[in-house]
Amino acid sequence: MATMLMLVKSSFVVFMVMNSVMMVLCLVEKQLGCYHPTDSSCSIHTLTCPEDRRLSIYSLYYYTHPSTTTCPLEQDECETSPCCTWSNGDTLQPYNDQDSLDVYKTCSIQQSCSITSPYNHTTGYHYVEYGYECEPEYYIHDIMTTERISFRGGHFSLYYSGKDSPAKGLTCSCVLPKGDFTLKMQLLYIYLSGESCTRVTVTGDDTPEYTCNDDGVFISKQNNVHINDIYRITFNNLTSSNDDVIWIEFTGRPENASCDCKAQFEVRNGSWSNWSLYSACSVTCGGCNKTRTRKCNNPTPANGGTKCSGKTMMYSRCNEQLCPGL
């Protein structure tokens, strides 16, 4: 297939028990993809959650195989190449912040995303490991459309996206005081440009949770959990950049938690992305359909803008010759 991952994904489920009711919080996934030149279909990787869940990236790693492993680059060997799967003796390699940021920008809060793995022939990397969780959609609250925060099982998250809700002069805040139970906070993903970072603050008990530099701030999912009596997310005359994102997870039951965002947003009409490459033919004879897709995300419609008109998928017949012996 033109868009593929090279390993059956490994996964496990995280549960929470509240009031004697077991609730599924998230599906935790790991998937591998070939580290191949960008003009190879092997370099296109797709991360997918069920329809009612959204991607939350938590890790990105590169690996190399021992020098004895043969790694063909031919596209038709993507799925079977030993280069693209885990084996004993593999070595974990460093990644840079830009590679990680590209994955976060492309995939966060999406149901599915396609990533072209960065490639440099001098690195010697063989495959990429993506770690992500599939968060239930009903736990995720858009700051721009949420006034009173509802939560199920004491678990919820708040997010703002400059791509989904471009803002000019956005001045508003969310306030989350703890109730009878401990209120914990974890930063899932924050990216703010240099100017935006000076206009947005996240505090716990009035202490800032991050520091801006000249380029802004980028925080990937943090392992440490913050415990405070009151949290605030404040926007002060923000004119957003397209890549601005704040995504914060809370565990507990806040008392009278609310957001009050009243900015006048830009109405943005949707437009189609480019068509993907056609998938590979799944049979060598007898005929079948191969497909290609596109998405209404270039840009995504926002604030009452019109949706794209037309099809999201196209089909084409392939390898229709008769099979030998028929």
- Token readout for 223 is 């392992």
Q: Is residue 5 part of a domain?
A: no
Rounded to whole angstroms, the Cα distance separating 69 from 90 reads 10
Rounded to whole angstroms, the Cα distance separating 294 from 285 reads 27
Do 14 and 101 lie in one domain? The reply is: yes
DSSP, res 103: H
Do 218 and 312 lie in one domain? The reply is: no
Do 126 and 37 lie in one domain? The reply is: yes
Give the residue from 235, 261, 287 where a domain finishes: 261
- Token readout for 323 is 């099979």
Q: Is 60 exceeded by the pLDDT of residue 73?
A: no
Q: Is residue 123 part of a domain?
A: yes
Can you give the C-alpha Rg of the chain in angstroms? 22
Torsion over CA: 82, 85, 86, 92 (sign): positive
Q: Is 60 exceeded by the pLDDT of residue 7?
A: no
Q: Torsion over CA of 232, 233, 237 and 240, rounded to 10 degrees?
A: 170
Number of independent structural domains in the chain: 3
Beta bridge partners of 53: 136
pLDDT digits (tens, 9 = 90+) for 14-26: 444 443 333 445 5
Indicate which CATH number applies to the domain containing 183.
2.60.120.1030
Beta bridge partners of 316: 290
Cβ–Cβ under 8 Å, residues 316 and 290: yes
**Which candidate, 37, 40, 51, 46, places its Cα nearest to that of 7?**
46
Within 8 A by CB and 6+ apart from 308, the residues are 270, 271, 272, 296, 301
Q: Is residue 70 part of a domain?
A: yes
Beta bridge partners of 44: 116
Q: The domain containing residue 297 runs over which residues?
A: 267-326
Do 123 and 206 lie in one domain? The reply is: no
So what's the pLDDT on residue 282?
Answer: 84
pLDDT digits (tens, 9 = 90+) for 241-255: 999 999 999 988 888
Give the range among 34-38, 230-234, 303-307 with minimum mean pLDDT.
Answer: 303-307
pLDDT digits (tens, 9 = 90+) for 129-184: 899 999 888 889 899 888 777 666 678 899 999 988 888 888 899 999 988 888 89
Q: Is residue 2 part of a domain?
A: no
Q: Is residue 1 part of a domain?
A: no
Say which residue the tokens 């991360």 belong to: 47
- Token readout for 95 is 């990644």
Give the residue from 136, 158, 175 where a domain finishes: 136
So what's the pLDDT on residue 75?
Answer: 47
pLDDT digits (tens, 9 = 90+) for 168-183: 888 899 999 988 888 8
Do 221 and 248 lie in one domain? The reply is: yes
Q: Torsion over CA of 103, 198, 178 and 154, rounded to 10 degrees?
A: -20
Do 55 and 94 lie in one domain? The reply is: yes
**Which candidate, 172, 179, 155, 156, places its Cα nearest to that of 230?**
179
